[in-house]
């Protein structure tokens, strides 16, 4: 891991997680353990409405945690509408120590790296059933209430796991904007590192 990101990871792994959240995360842990026990692929598709903030954070942190613990997991993300990976969320990842390279201007593709020799994580806004996402043998992890309530069926998903997060967009253009994006990213990171450490 890049030095700055390693420092971030050590800090987020110390964040307290409430018992209520641990009970919600336990559903994800159970799914992953079951896949490991049965020799099934570990695939998670994180879904929120616009695939612009929370689901992108979740994909990147889940993949980073999996690589950190040496777990053969593949993380994806999608939405019910295509917009763009929000530049504020991208900036938060950079503050945490990721290296990010942008390609294109309209709904740009971001290549996100957690270490010098890592394969890039490709991040851009897309519908949950985009061709680059899995279409069978995956869990749909619902990261926002709107998508969870308005997208009742995810074709091909073997499990549907609600793990909702508050949307940092409520703080856009406010004095607290950067803090709130970093706070949400850190929360997602800490919970996904906790989940994957449980099966490592």
Q: What is the mean pLDDT of residues 4-33?
A: 98
Q: Which of 151, 161, 154 is nearest to 129 (CA)?
A: 154
Q: Give the tens place of pLDDT for each residue, 148-162.
A: 766 667 999 999 999
The reported pLDDT for the residue numbered 153 is: 79
State residue 152's pLDDT score. 67
Report the pLDDT value the prediction gives residue 146, as an integer from 0 to 100.
75
pLDDT score recorded for residue 16: 97
Could you read off the pLDDT of 81-119 as tens digits, one per residue?
Answer: 999 999 999 999 999 999 999 999 999 999 999 999 999
% of the chain exceeding 70 in pLDDT: 98
Q: How far apart are CA 48 and CA 41, in angstroms?
A: 22
Q: What angle do CA 46, 128, 168 make, to 5 degrees?
A: 50
Dump the DSSP string for 120-154.
Answer: PEEE---BTT-TTS-SSSEEEEE-SHHHHHH----
Q: Is the separation of the CB atoms in 73 and 192 below 8 Å? A: no
Return the DSSP state at 119. Answer: P
Q: What is the pLDDT of residue 142?
A: 95
β-bridge partners, 162 = 142
Contact predicate 85/52, CB 8 Å:
yes
Domains defined along the chain, listed by start? 3-197 (3.40.50.2300)
């Amino acid at each position: 891991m890049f030095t700055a990101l390693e420092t971030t990871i050590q800090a987020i792994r110390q964040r307290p997680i409430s018992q209520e959240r641990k009970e919600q995360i336990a559903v994800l842990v159970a799914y992953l353990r079951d896949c490991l026990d049965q020799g099934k692929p570990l695939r998670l598709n994180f879904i929120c409405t616009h695939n612009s903030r929370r689901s992108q954070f979740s994909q990147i942190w889940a993949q980073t945690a999996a690589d950190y613990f040496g777990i053969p997991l593949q993380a994806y993300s999608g939405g019910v509408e295509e917009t763009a990976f929000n530049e504020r969320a991208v900036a938060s990842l950079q503050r945490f120590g990721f290296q990010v390279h942008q390609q294109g201007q309209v709904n740009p593709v971001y290549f996100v790296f957690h270490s010098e020799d890592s394969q890039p994580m490709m991040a851009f806004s897309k519908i949950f059933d985009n061709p680059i996402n899995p279409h069978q043998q995956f869990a749909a992890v619902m990261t926002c209430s709107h998508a969870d309530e308005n997208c009742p069926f995810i074709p091909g998903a073997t499990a549907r796991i609600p793990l909702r997060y508050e949307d940092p967009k409520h703080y856009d253009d406010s004095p607290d904007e950067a803090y709130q994006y970093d706070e949400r990213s850190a929360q997602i990171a800490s919970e996904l590192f906790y989940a994957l450490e449980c099966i490592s």
